[in-house]
Amino acid sequence: MLSVSDKEKTRESEKVVIAPRDLTREEHGAIICYPGTDLASFPSRVSQLGSLGIECLILEGDSKVGKYGIVGRGCVSTVVKARLSSEKEPVALKIRRVDANRSDMEHDYELQKYANSFDVGPRAIAASKDLFAMEYIDSIKLGRWFQLLKTRSSKKFLRALIRDTLEQCYLLDIHGLDHGELSNPAKHVLIRNHCKPAKTVIIDYESASRNRKTSNLTSVAQFFLLGGWQSAKVRKILRMQPEEDYSVSKRREELVAALREYKERLNRRSFEELLALVRC
């Protein structure tokens, strides 16, 4: 069995740091032009890396493209760690997939900058047609965290986590920015590592809109408190009701009513009332 330090060495040895000029179509085409079947835009993308000020890509992470580790992958992009000349810390670099149903990263960048204006989302740094550099969040995804969550876990941490996430949803709601993918926030809410009380970050504004009716808070509250297996864990930890009774319980009805009230009023008071009801 590997000791912790051996594991770390193995992980360390898997990390590949590479400057844009050293990228080749054969070796890195599938990362830069994911999924790698059409490499026509490779030279343009390498040149965009240069214009954006990317000094090197740091290929490491739990997701894989071939033998290389990356930070993550979505429907629109692959995400890698990178060094940007203007930044002290490594950044997260979204690289548009060649098969994405979006023609550029502009929308994602602009709406994330708007979210940043009221302190929501990773700090957006710079974008080009196919690239978007932002603050890298050292974190675990909400979905993975819930998989690991034990029903004897810390009530205090969970409360702070729910409160912090709902607070950001409230800010998105009152500023008229509908995220669009929060009905399943498992992949789009990141929980910062080594933070107590809990701090979360809502990522990925590519499906967001300022022209839709917002449903950020109601979607996430539904996920935390009313739907699915994860909400059963939440209710147990927060001791909100014996599970058997919950679906017909008064508390559930109260919660649904408070959410309706919040949706109608969309003000701080209805938000605070909701938090009080769920003891967060």
Ligand X SMILES: Nc1ncnc2c1ncn2[C@@H]1O[C@H](COP(=O)(O)OP(=O)(O)O)[C@@H](O)[C@H]1O
Q: How far is the CB of 189 from ligand X (least distance, A)?
A: 10
Which of Mg ion, ligand X, none is residue 203 near (CB under 5 to 8 Å by kind)?
ligand X
Contact between residue 2 and residue 10 where contact means Cβ atoms under 8 Å apart: yes
Q: How many residues does the chain have?
A: 280
| 41-80 binders of ligand X (CB under 6 A) | 71-77, 79
Please identify, using beta-carbon distances, which residue of 79 and 237 lies nearer to ligand X: 79
* Residue 130 touching ligand X (CB under 6 A): no
Provide the phi-psi class of 194: left if phi over 0, else alpha when psi is between -120 and 50, else beta.
left
Cα 172 to Cα 178: distance, rounded to the nearest angstrom = 7
Contact region with Mg ion (CB under 5 A), list: 15-23, 66-74, 96-104, 152-160: 66-74
* From candidates 136, 145, 146, 170, binder to ligand X by CB under 6 A: 136
* Residue 237 touching ligand X (CB under 6 A): no
Q: How far is the CB of 236 from Mg ion (least distance, A)?
A: 29
Cα 111 to Cα 116: distance, rounded to the nearest angstrom = 9
Three-state DSSP class for 104?
coil
* Residue 92 touching ligand X (CB under 6 A): yes
Please identify, using beta-carbon distances, which residue of 71 and 131 lies nearer to ligand X: 71
For residue 66, give the DSSP letter: T
* From candidates 137, 234, 255, 259, binder to ligand X by CB under 6 A: 137
Cα 268 to Cα 254: distance, rounded to the nearest angstrom = 18
Residue partners of 225: CB distance under 8 A and separation at least 6: 231, 234, 235, 240, 255, 278
Contact region with Mg ion (CB under 5 A), list: 117-125, 155-163, 202-210, 270-278: 202-210
Provide the phi-psi class of 195: left if phi over 0, else alpha when psi is between -120 and 50, else beta.
beta
Q: Which residue has the tokens 């708007």?
A: 114
Residue nearest to Mg ion (CB): 74
Q: How far is the CB of 71 from ligand X (least distance, A)?
A: 5
Contact between residue 150 and residue 236 where contact means Cβ atoms under 8 Å apart: no
Q: How far is the CB of 169 from Mg ion (least distance, A)?
A: 17
* From candidates 115, 204, 218, 233, binder to Mg ion by CB under 5 A: 204
Which residue ranges make up the site for ligand X (CB under 6 A)?
Answer: 71-77, 79, 92, 122, 134-137, 139, 141, 187, 203-204, 206
